[in-house]
Amino acid sequence: MKKFLAGVGALLPVLAASSAFAAQPQPWQMGFQPAASAIMEDIRWFEQYTLVFIVPITLLVLALLAWCIIRYRASTNPVPSRTSHNTLIEVIWTVGPVVILLFLAVPSFQLLTAQYNPPEEPTMTIKASAVQWSWDYEYQDEEPLTFSAFMLQEGDREAAGKEDLAQYPRLLAVDNEVVVPVDTTVRVLVTSNDVIHAFAMPAFGVKVDAVPGRINETWFNATKEGVYYGQCSELCGKDHAFMPIAIRVVSQDQYDTWRAAAQSDLNGANRALMAAVDNKNVADAGN
């Protein structure tokens, strides 16, 4: 028993450290990923809100169908009714759906408006260009930084320092993550260099098409540090399933350090950032 408790105690720091890494798809997942932005929180709320209407309506329709099938079957109702009009019923089934649609439409349009209108002017802009089958990123500031992000191959994990499948899952981890500071409004310009793709980051509530010859704009403000995973969400060819998106959200100080180093040595900056994040997680777990 003592050995078991000691083993559990040794695992607690690791589990606490890993908790900073979210979010990603889970096996047999039926709901949304945990929200990491205010917009995604609103999306999750709206999902629950719509269920308040969907569930009773579904049960009502099911009950009415069952009642009609049993009550008006040929054996018990050999002479069917010839009634063709019922004013009360027609008023109910006209006004009722209109009222329900209004209750759905108002918060829906409010959410849609918020998705296209950030609450503040974005402090940084990143251009994401889709390519069959990877992503090119450009930090558009005084000293532009550009790099490509490819899905991490299994044979490259050790060299990249990304052996932990919990933090860097198979088919989702990339060689170079997009790095952004937490609690910062980020503008993302999305386009494509060949066919139609889609930039999707579920934990942020972001999904926008990448169309050749066109630039679509979206934004996010990540509220929790960690590594977040998305994928191309538009069928774009044979390797569509191998085109992941990874965004690492860090503190402002960690971002500033990474950004200064990445200008001349991206790989070195990524390794230093990973080490700093891992050390912070372990320290936090120790507290």
Per residue in 206-253, pLDDT tens?
999 999 999 999 999 999 999 999 999 999 999 999 999 999 999 999
Please give the radius of gyration of the chain, using alpha carbons only, rounded to the nearest integer.
25
In this prediction, residue 72 carries a pLDDT of 87
Rounded CA-CA distance 236/244 in Å is 13
Q: Residue 58, SS3?
A: helix
Contacts 24+ apart (CB under 8 A), 46-51: 46/107, 46/108, 46/111, 49/107, 50/104
> Which two tokens mark 188?
């993302």
Buried b (16+ CB within 10 A) or exposed e, 140-169: eeeeebebebbbbeeeebeebebeeeebbb
In this prediction, residue 85 carries a pLDDT of 83
Selection from 251, 234, 232 nearest residue 242 by Cα = 232
Residue 286 pLDDT grade (very low, low, confident, very high; cuts 50, 70, 90) = very low
In this prediction, residue 84 carries a pLDDT of 81
In this prediction, residue 21 carries a pLDDT of 52
Sort strands 124-131 and 134-139 into parallel, antiparallel or unpaired: antiparallel
In this prediction, residue 82 carries a pLDDT of 80
Fold assignment, 38-116: Helix Hairpins (1.10.287)
Rounded CA-CA distance 207/214 in Å is 16
Q: What is the pLDDT of residues 190-214, one digit of tens each?
A: 999 999 999 999 999 999 999 999 9
So what's the architecture of 124-286 in CATH?
Answer: Sandwich (2.60)
In this prediction, residue 7 carries a pLDDT of 44
Between residues 282 and 107, the one the model is more confident about: 107
Average model confidence (pLDDT) for the chain? 87
In this prediction, residue 247 carries a pLDDT of 96
Positions of E strands within 140-243: 145-149, 178-181, 185-192, 197-201, 206-210, 216-221, 226-232
Mean pLDDT (whole number) for 84-103: 91
Over pLDDT 90: what percentage of the chain?
A: 71
**Residue 127, CA atoms < 13 Å, CB-side half-sphere:** 15
Selection from 257, 284, 285 nearest residue 272 by Cα = 257
Same fold across 38-116 and 124-286 = no
Q: Which helix (H) or strand (E) holds 160?
A: helix 157-160
Q: What is the pLDDT of residues 12-42, one digit of tens each?
A: 333 334 445 557 788 888 888 889 999 999 9
Residue 280 pLDDT grade (very low, low, confident, very high; cuts 50, 70, 90) = low
Domain residue spans of the chain:
38-116, 124-286
In this prediction, residue 99 carries a pLDDT of 95
Selection from 194, 251, 198, 243 nearest residue 222 by Cα = 251
Pick the range with the lowest mean pLDDT from 88-92, 192-196, 278-282: 278-282
